[in-house]
Every structure is written in structure tokens, then in C-alpha cells.
Structure 1
Amino acid sequence: MADTHAHSKNAHHGAKTGLLGLAVGAVGVVFGDIGTSPLYTLKEAFSPHYGLTANHDTVLGILSLVFWALMIVVTLKYVTIIMRADNEGEGGIMALMALAQRTMPKDSKSAYAVGILGIFGASLFFGDGVITPAITTLSAVEGLEVVAPQLHTWVVPITLGIIVFLFGTQRFGTERVGKVFGPVMLVWFLSLAAIGVMNIRHNPEVFHAINPWWAMQFFATHGGHAIFILGAVVLAVTGGEALYADMGHFGARPIRHAWYWFVLPALMLNYMGQGSLLLLDPKVASNPFYLSVPQMVRIPMIVLATLAAVIASQAVITGAYSVARQAMQLGYIPRMRIQHTSKDTIGQIYIPWINWVLALAVIAVVLMFRSSTGLASAYGVSVSGTMLIDTLLLFLVARAMWPKARRWVLPLCVLFAIIDVAFLVANGVKFLDGAWFPVVLAIVVFTILRTWRRGRQLLYEEIRKEGIQLDSFLPGLMLAPPTRVPGTAIFLIAQKGMVPHALLHNLKHNKVLHERNVFLTVETLNVPHAPKDRRLKIEPIGDDFYRITVRFGFMEVPDVPLALMRSCDMDERIGIPFDPMDTTYFASRETIVAGRHRGMPVWRDRLFAFLHRNAAPATGFFRIPGNRLVELGAQVEI
């Protein structure tokens, strides 16, 4: 349960820059989403949708709910407890899913159920990735309406322009822009705190909201209607899951320190300041954030808020790339072209297909809802759903892996689950008002992920059914061996022990066999980075035939030629004299034909065929040079 860094480079970086430097970096990247929540949380709570009046007891009740939501959900659940569940230093729902599955028998029903949970949580995350850029940018630009109401018609066009610019510049990478993220967000949080302190002096009694009695009094006064208000309160904790997801980049300690001593106080001071202003003048409920800003600095604050919104959006977009890469490695989505945008940091990647699908979805959402208030109805479902799944996975991990801590963690998981369910119910009642969008989006993404996973299983079953066992094929082949030519042939196979189609085609058409023949399988482990001693496994099977297994972690970029170079350094008895210029890679590329009454409905077969047809070739994904590659086709019916 110790906090560790997954990457040796990160550890070196941490030693070089120190805790303070990493904490500043975490402020710039990790807290963007939750840091922009003051823009719209109290505005939504007092919107006409909920019918609340900004009187003394109601304001203190809402502030108390916001404070305790931040303390229980973010501080206790994510920062204090769930960050202990690191998968070799990495966090996020996919890492937590892999960690939970590691405690269960492979291919068991429980492992399957955990996989379903994790994949649906990842699907909800993509919904969050669509809504966050839209709502944060819209709410920031809506400050123009406070300064000049006649600019109302320009809010949506300006928002769309910022979003197009944001997604259009992704291909250049975030390394340069990322250097200013930390300082900008430091200024943002300091501004939040300063504005809060300036407004609190009007009504210092808002600090009474720290007493949970006010939250309980709010529920007692409003009865069953009070639970629906949680649909607005949850907006204060959106982005809490990002603290865990980005743990691998900075480590748990810097994130914890930044949250405890800087981000949390700044957020609460601002919320208290907005509450103090509401007690002074209930009319500011139309936009408590911007109306709490002194008139002379509102325009600079709009600019700063827009920059903070862009940074928050950038963090979510980058997170979508990371989750997509993990899902690719774990076999849940088709392989896609990945571009590396930094020579120094392997984690900085750009996935064009994910980028432009997200961009189109965000633009559609802005045009559909046209205001942050409209989007607030849609926002909470994906966040509360993801948080509930995190709680369930945490329960499984704590029960199996934390024998000492589980005595107090498991009861807390019950509390977290009750709160998560309450948030989910509060947002679920807004289904027709916009909450349907992230639900539908998550179902679509989930269907694609499950179809790809199931389709691959069916494809491998068909290949195995029609294939020939390698152990029986090779002895027969060597009874009358074909002509052998110099060099090494590497046959990529997904199924161990089967004769690859590419070898059969090569024998049939070219009637030759290479001097050395390697049957190569690439595996992805359920850890972020494969240990060096497990990276490469070489099994000689006689007559210069070899079985090689190359393993990568789910956070790694698979580079097969680089991994094979290690064989040159291994013991001469099991190593292979691997010369990249004298090596040819052979791969099969299957064409999928949808069949009736098989493992999936025909429409899912056709969806899988479409995904398979448009997936990036495994050879490119594994960084195999095109000038050393021979691809041979095969048709498979599933």
C-alpha cells in the first residue's frame, strides 16, 4: 500500500524537482476539472430547476453539503484511501480493474464481472471527456453576459471557436503548453481564495456551514426533495476521480499535499465567499461566481477562467488518450495509430481518431445544450456512475489485499456507496432533461468495447478450430524439409501452439523455409510495466525453430523489434543471433465475414467486422518496420 512511482524516469524527475515542483505540476494538470467547479456549482444549485430560495438556512445547508461532499468523496475516499490502491504506481479505473482481477482466478465469473464493471466505468469516463470541455468552456465564456448582457448571442460561437482551437492543436502535444499549466492554475486558485476572502467579510457566519448539522437540517426541512439537490452538489466533486487517474504522472504524495494545503482551502474559501454574497443579496444567484468578482477585474477574470477551462479540458482529453491506450493494450478497443508528441516523456501521446471523435461530440453537445445550466443536468450521471464503480472495485481490492486496513476501509466503502448511489439517483431523475446523453454515449461505447472483446475471442476460436497444432506439424515437416534460405523469419501469432497461416502460405507459394524461424506472441500483462525478467521468454523447439513470448504492461508502448534485440544479450544456449536487417516478419490479416447463429447477433458480427477492417494493423502497432514485413490474408467467418 506504499505510494510508489511506476516510471523510473518519474522517480528521477521527482528527485530532481522535489516534492514542491511535483505538487505545482499536479496543480496544473490534475486539479483543472475540480478547480473550475466553482464556476457553475452554486449557480446550478439555485437555478429555477430546483426551486430553492437563497435564504439564510438554505445557503448554509447547500454550503455544508458542498463542504462535506469535498471532505468525504474527494479528501477521504480518493485522496486518502483509493490512492493507496496503486497498480505499481499507476491509477485510474482500468488500473483498478486490473488490480481487482489480479485477486481472482483467471477466466472466472467474478473476474468477468469485474471486467464488465471496469469497462462500463471507462465508457462513462469517455462521456465525462465529452461534457467537461463543453461545460467548463461555456461557463467561463458566460462571464461575458455579466459584463455585457448584449454579448449573450456570442457565447456559443466563442465557445465553439475555443473548442475547435483546443482540439486542433492537440497534434502538437502538450509539452510546451504544459509548462505554463502549473503557473496559470496557481494564479487561478490564488484568485479563487482571494475573491472568497474578500466576500466572506460581508458574512463570516458562512463558516458555520462546516458544521454537518446544517446539511442535516437542509434534508429535514426539504424532505424527499432534498436528495434531488445532490444533482447540483455533485458538480463540486467532478474531477475527483482525476486525482487517482493521474497518480502515475506525479505520485500520490505531491497530489495529496497539493490538495490538502492548497487546492481544497482555495475552493472552500471561494464557495464560502459566494455563499456570503448570496446571504447579502439573493439576486446574485443568477451567476454567483462572476458577480462575486469586483467589477474592475471581471474581464481579466473571464480570461483567466477561460484559460483554466482550457487546462481542465486538456487534462480530460489527455486522460481519454491514456484510457484508450490502456484499453487497446488490454484488448478492449481496436488498435489505433498513436503519435508520440514528446521525445522525453513517453506518456505524452496523441490519438487522432479519439481526438476528432471527441471534438465532434463536444461541438454537438455545445450546440445541443447551448448553456452551462443545460449541460449541468447531463454532467453528474457519468461522474457519479464512475465514482460508484470505483467504490465497488475498491471494496474488492481492500477485502482481498489489505488484511489490516480492511477493518476500517470496508465500512467506509459502504458509506461511499450510499453517497454515490444518492448522487446517481439525484442525477438519474434528470434523465429527460439531458442526463440521457452521457448514459446513451456510455452504452454506445460499452457496446463497442464488448463487441470488440467478444469478437476477438470468436475469431481466435475459429482460427484454433481450423488450425493445425504446431507440435504435430513440425516433426512431419522436417521429415522432408524444404530448401532453407539464410535469415530469420518471425511469424506473428495470437494463438500459442498453432501453425500460423503465414507459414503455410509461405511454404505453399515460395516452397522455402528460413534458416531460423520464430513463432512470436505478444502478451499484455495486468500491470502497468512488464518487469525486465518477464519481458522476453525464448523456448527453443529444435531445428532452429523458437517460440518467443514478448510481454508489455498496459501503460507501455509495445516495441517488438526493440524487445527482440534483448535476445542478443541472453545466454547463447537460448538466445538468438537477431540481426534486424536480416529478419523478415510474416503476419496474417484476416477478413471477417458475419455468420448467422454463431456467438453474437449478426449486427454485432458486422460491427466487429467494421472495427476489424478499420483497426490499425498489429504490425504498425507493434512498431514493426514496413520494409521488413510480409502480410498474407485469410477469410474467417464468425
Structure 2
Amino acid sequence: MQAHTTLQSLRPGRTVTLVGTLGVVFGDIGTSPLYTMRVAFSGPHAIAPSETNILGVLSLILWSLIVIVSIKYATIMLRADSRGEGGIMVLLSLASRTAIDSPRRRRIIVFIGLIGAALFYGDGILTPAVTVTSAVEGLTVVAPKLGEFVVPTALTILTLLFLLQRKGTSRVGWLFGPIMLLWFCCIGLLGFLGILAAPEVLAAANPWYGARFLIEEEWYSLVVLGAVVLAVTGAETLYADIGHFGVGPIRTAWFGVAFPALSLNYFGQGALLLRDPAAAQNPFYLLAPEWGALPMLVLATVTTVIASQAVISGVFSTTLQAVQLGYLPRVSIYHTSLFYPGQIYMPAVNWILLAAIFALVVQFEASDRLAAAYGIAVTGTMVITSLLAFFVLRKLWQWGWIASLALVGSFLIIDSAFLTANSLKFTQGGWIPLAVGAVLFIVMTTWQRGRSLLASRLNERAISFETLLMRLRANPPRRICGTAVYLTSGRRGVPQSLLNNLAINKILHERVIVLTVIVKDVPWVPRSERIKIRCFGDELYRVKIYFGFNQEPNVPGALALCKEQGLEIELAGCSFFFSREALISTPRPGMALWRERLFIRLARNTESAMDFFRIPPDRVIELGTVVEI
């Protein structure tokens, strides 16, 4: 109790948490004013900066922020947490609970959810590449001759950014938070001053201007929607990063800082365009006074680098949940905060992400070539989120059919319109996040199916504990001192490693524990529900340890809890037996041969169970067995 009180006293205060939230969560959406209005009114697919068009686009941007970010994510989706955790995998687990009695519906929900998770990874690769490259390209405004150094500089900045990840998101957030707070204050002030110069721009707050624009422009409005959606990129991160800072700080940061500042700046840019349509070439920078252009350029350069942090944090959270739920192979996971268990660092994911981003930057070189793909992954994930939210609203929250369909239908209409608009950019780079998503989807579904097949093959060889006891009593083996803990993924029967040890060595420890680690589809399992023990007699025990998908699977620490149920385990006298399966691809029914080979390769490169479960290596014995998939 004293230790718990001490931790609570050291927990970061509300102000510190709020500043950290700004740095980690709102970097992506906070930098959207840099390019959203410019893309809409300049470039190859721009519309004329007439009063009707300006008010129409501005109205669409404002109401997209209200409906998608403020209502859908900040109000609705932040409620769809699971014991303080959020993100697409949490939403998938919540939606899956609504289909316990319907395997077919559950398969559909899992299929939809994995598509959303895969698209989120596509966004996670694309966002840092676009934001950092665009930041470095901004430096050429001051020194055009530095253009040839854009790519090397971008790669250097990306490397430094990913090196910072091992420090933890709380430290990164505290480093970036004050800069983002300054950024929002500056863009909000500039927007306010711009509105004072042309207050008639406030008429765009009327949604009729946006609706009239869509009606009058007809099919060409889809092209414009491809620019408008840039204003809400990063909205998914509000939901994905609940576990890093909590619902309260995220909502406070959005409604109290980010949303007012963004709205003011967009309206300020609109006011500038009403006064000077020629400012469409770069309304963000031209909104600033002449003396403030250079400081804003420097601040914008730093801020756009920060924008990628939001997605990186979301990728770590999603990967942890996918690993624990059995959709991705085990990877090394390090918790970087005593106060927020959701703050983690994954070396393998960190460097794979960096390598993929490097490839994009080197291949495409310029941010405008990458920007065409920017919205597809985001809007695709938004559509998936809306679909999964329907099951949560209808089944878990017990909303009526009419209310559920009305709310989710409204979201889907908007999300689908944005997705359709961005799909027009497929050949211009939109295929990138879709290709990344397709690869991740194949990996996740292959790993999930492969693990199911492996468990099925092992169960074919398993015998019951009752059968084992009959054999032991009929032909007693030599019992030796100590405790043997046999880890197995199977939830029933005797593991192959125990049978192999008994057949080869003809001995059995005086106490035998068959241990299974089970990850439930909740973020946290309380201490009182962590252990289940069953004794079969003759010192043969079946122990199941339950973790949530956001908990560190520390087996030695969990085994110490067995004492509370009358089974005291002295870890110093324990030997841990693992079964190392040598997997062989065969034509047996199950998966296509190429997927079987992919699963085998993934299994060979996964982190060892010994390291993942925090078991001392000097207490581990591995026994091999061949399994045909």
C-alpha cells in the first residue's frame, strides 16, 4: 500500500499530462493547416478562390472537424475503451464479444477489424515520410539551393526521431508538448487576427455553405473532398493513444486547445483568401505578418517533425494488442513508464517502421508525390471504425436499431465520401498504404490461422491427465526432487514436452505443473482473477495464468501468486520445460502451402517464449518435437 501511495504521489500532474498529450497525440492533426487550404485552392486540381468556394470549403473543413473528430472520436469512440485502452484492436475485441453466440458473425467482425488494423499500419509508414519530408522542403523557402539536401536531411531527422522512441512516449511528449502548445497558440492567434480583418468569413460556420458547394460542384466536389480530408488526418490517433495518457487529458487537449486553434486558423486563412485570392499559393504562411514568416517557418518545420510521433505511438499500441491477441508473432516489448502501462517501446517494430519509411523517402523524394496517398489509409480506417462501432453501440451499449443505424450511418456516409474522393488518387501513390495494408493483413491472418492449426495438430497427440495418471500408477517412473513446469499453449490435455521427457528420461519430478498462459480480450486482468489451479493428485497440477492484452506476461511473477491458493512454488527449485516445435509444411488440409511456409518463417523469427514470458534462461530446458502443419 505504501509503495502504491508513493507511485501515486510521483504520478505526473494534470498540467504535465496535458502538455505531453499535445506533443504525442495531436502532432498530425495539428499540422494540417499547413497544407489543407493550399491543396484545395492551388495545384493541378485546385478550385477557383471565389467567395462561394472559399466559404463552402471552409464550412466542409469546420464541420468535418466537428462531426468526425469532436463527435465521432472525442465524444463517442473515446467511450469505447476497454479498461482504459483504445485503438482498432480494442474496438475489434469489443465488437467480437457481441458475436460469442455466432461464429460466422465473429469471423466477419475479425476480418473487418484486421483490415482496419492493416490500414493503420499503412498510415503509420506514410505519415512520418510525408510530414518530415514536407518539413525539410520548407527550408528551401529560405535557402533554395539546399534542395539537393532534402532527402539526406529528412533521413537524418527520421533517424533521430526513431532513436528517441526508446526514451518512452512520456519523455518524448514532454519534449514535444511545449512546442505543440506554442504552435497551437501561434496559429490560433494568427487566425484570430485574420478573422478580424474580414469577419464576414464567419458565415462559413453555417453548414448550408458546405452543402451548397457539394450540390453545385457535383462530381468535382469529390476532388475537393480529397483536400478537405487532410484536415482530419490524425483523428484515429485520439482513440489509439487512450492508454498513453487517458481519456480526460485527450478530450481536454482537443476541446480546450487543438480544436479552437485549428478552427481559428482555418477561418483566418479563409478570411485572407476573401481579401486576397492570390494568397492561395500559400495561405498559411501569408497569414503571418512579413516579419513573422521566418519564425513561423522554423516553428512549422519542428512541428511537422513532431506530427509523426502520434502515429508511431499508435503503431506501438496496436502492435502490442495484436501480439497479445494472437494476430502477430511475439516481439520484444519494453514498458517505458511507471505511471502509464500503455507507454511502450518495441525495438523490432521501431526499426522495421524506420526502414519502410526510408524506402518511401528515397523512392519518391518529394512530399507531393507521397501526399496523393495520404488520405486513403486514414479514411479506410475511419470506415472500419464506424462499422465496428455499430456492433458496440447495438450489442454492448444496448442502443436501439434506429439510434445505432442513424449515428453510424451518418458517420459512414461522411467516411465513405472521403474514401471515394481519395480513391481517385490510387495511381498517384494511393496504392502504397493499400499495398502495405495487404501485406500486414496476410501476415496477421496467416499467423492467426497457423497458430490455430498448430494447436489442432498438437491436440491430436495429446492425452488426458486422467490417462496419464493411470499410466503412472500402472508403471511408476522414478521421481526426482524439484518442481517441473511444462509450458504449453494447449488448454486441455498433457503437453508433448512432458510425454517426451517421460519417454526419453524415464523420470518425473516430485511435483509437476502444466502451465498455460492465456491472454483474454480485455486490457487488464485483476490479481484476483490471474491464477486458476486444478490438482489431479500425485502432485500433478494444471495451472492457468490469465493476462490482459496490455499486460506484461511475467510468468515468474504470476507463479508467485499461486501461494495465495495453497500452492507454494519455490522458483529457485523449478525447471521450466519448453517444447520447440520443428514445423514442416505438408499438403494436409488447413492452409495453402505458401501460407504454411510463411507461417513457419514467422514462427522461426518470433521472440522466444523464454524471453517473452521473462523466465530465467538458466532454469529452461527445451525439448524438440516435429509437427506437420
- Pairwise TM-score range, normalised by the shorter structure: over 0.9
User: CA–CA distance in 2 between the matches of 1:84 and 1:12?
Assistant: 26
Q: Would you say 1:542 and 2:533 are equivalent positions?
A: no
Structure 2 Cα separation of the partners of residues 199 and 266 of structure 1? 13
Partners of 2:165 and 2:172 within 8 A in 1: no
Q: Match for 1:537: what amino acid?
A: K
In the alignment, structure 1 residue 608 sits paired with structure 2 residue 599: yes
Native 8 Å contact 1:539 1:546 kept in 2: yes
The equivalent of 1:520 in structure 2 is 515
1:498 aligns with 2:489: no
Q: Are positions 1:437 and 2:432 aligned together?
A: yes
SS in 1 for 2:99: coil
With 534-543 and 283-292 compared, the bigger mean Cα shift is at: 283-292
Superposition pairs of residues 451-470 of structure 1, within 5 angstroms: 451-470=446-465
> Equivalents in 2 of 1:371, 1:208: separation in Å?
37
1:618 to 609, 615, 628: 609
State the alpha-carbon separation in 1 of the partners of residues 481 and 270 from structure 2: 79
- Report if the CA contact (8 A) 1:398-1:406 is conserved: no
- Equivalent in the alignment of 1:336: 331
Which one of the candidate residues 21, 25, 28 is aligned to 1:30?
Answer: 25
8 Å contact kept, 2:40–2:46: no
Q: Which residue of 1 aligns with 2:415?
A: 420
Provide the aligned length of Structure 1 versus Structure 2.
627
Output the amino acid matched with 1:424: L
String of CA shifts for 1:350-372, please: whole Å, max 9, x gaps: 21221111111111222233333
- Output the CA distance in 2 between the equivalents of 1:433 and 1:618: 43
Residues 1:184 and 2:186 are matched in the alignment: no
Deviation at 1:217, TM superposition (A): 2.1
- 3-state secondary structure, aligned to 1:333: coil
Q: Distance in 2 between matches of 1:107 and 1:511?
A: 46
Contact kept in structure 2, 1:44 and 1:373, CA below 8 Å: no
Instruction: Tell me how far 1:297 sits from its aligned partner.
Output: 3.1
Alignment of 1:637 with 2:628, yes or no, is yes
Contact 1:63 1:272 in 2 (8 A): yes
SS of structure 2 residue aligned to 1:142: helix
Shift of 1:384: 0.6
Over 3 Å counting, the alpha-carbon distance change for 1:138 and 1:316 in structure 2 is same
Identify which range, 259-268 or 197-206, moves more after superposition: 197-206
Counterpart among 383, 390, 393 of residue 388 in structure 2: 393
Aligned to 2:194: 199
Alignment of 1:291-306 (within 5 A): 291-306=286-301
TM-score when normalising by structure 1:
0.94
Q: Return the offset for 1:11.
A: 13
Query: Is the 1:330–1:524 Cα contact (8 Å) retained in structure 2?
Result: yes
2:241 — aligned with what? 246
Deviation (angstroms), 1:34: 0.8
| Corresponding position: 1:382 with 2:361 | no
Distance 1:80 1:314 in 2: 23
Of 199, 219, 226, the match for 1:224: 219
Deviates more, 1:377-386 or 1:155-164: 155-164
Unmatched 5+ stretches in structure 1: 1-7
Q: Aligned residue for 1:45?
A: 40
- Partner Cα separation in structure 2 for residue 365 and residue 514 of structure 1: 56
User: Residue 623 of structure 1 aligns to a residue in which SS?
Assistant: coil
1:485-532 C-alpha deviation (Å, 9 max, x unpaired): 111100011112222222122223322111110010110111100122
Q: Which of 341, 353, 365 pairs up with 2:348?
A: 353
One-letter amino acid of the counterpart of residue 312, structure 1: A
Contact 2:133 2:150 in 1 (8 A): yes
Change (3 A) 1:106 1:605: farther
Residue 82 of structure 1 is matched in structure 2 by 77
> Which runs of structure 2 are paired with 1:308-323 in the superposition (5 Å)?
308-323=303-318
Instruction: Report the Cα distance in structure 2 between the residues aligned to 1:193 and 1:11, rounded to whole angstroms.
Output: 39
Residue of structure 2 equivalent to 1:448: 443
Farther off after superposition, 612-621 or 240-249: 240-249
> For 2:591, what is the secondary structure of its paired residue?
coil
Give the Cα–Cα distance (whole angstroms) in 1 for the partners of residues 5 and 41 of structure 2: 44
Give percent identity, aligned residues only. 48
Letter of the structure 1 residue corresponding to residue 593 of structure 2: V
Q: Which moved more, 1:289-298 or 1:202-211?
A: 289-298
What is the CA distance between 1:116 and its match in structure 2? 1.2
**Which secondary structure state, in structure 2, belongs to the residue aligned with residue 521 of structure 1?**
strand
Residues 63 and 275 in structure 1, CA contact (< 8 A), matched pair in contact too: yes
Cα deviation, residue 473, structure 1: 2.1
Determine if contact 1:40/1:139 at 8 Å carries over to the other structure: no
TM-score by length of 2: 0.95
Specify the alignment match of 1:529 in structure 2: 524
Instruction: Specify the SS of the correspondent of 2:479.
Output: strand
1:18 offset after TM fit, Å?
5.7
> Following the alignment from structure 2 to structure 1, what is the Cα–Cα distance between the partners of residues 9 and 273?
43
The answer to whether the 8 A contact 2:243-2:343 is kept is: no
The residue aligned with 1:101 is 96
Looking at structure 2, the residues matched to 562 and 615 of structure 1 have their Cα atoms a distance apart, in angstroms, of: 23
Structure 1 pair 145/59, CA: closer, same or farther in 2 (3 Å)?
farther
Query: Secondary structure of the equivalent of 2:491?
Result: coil
**How far apart, in 2, do the equivalents of 1:247 and 1:385 lie?**
21
Checking the alignment, whether the CA contact within 8 Å between 2:7 and 2:339 is kept in structure 1 is no
1:138 Cα offset (Å) = 2.2
- Mark the CA change 1:529 to 1:401 in structure 2 (over 3 Å): closer, same or farther: same
- Give the CA deviation at 1:175: 4.0
How far residue 409 of structure 1 moved from its aligned partner, in angstroms, is 4.5
1:488 and 2:483 matched: yes
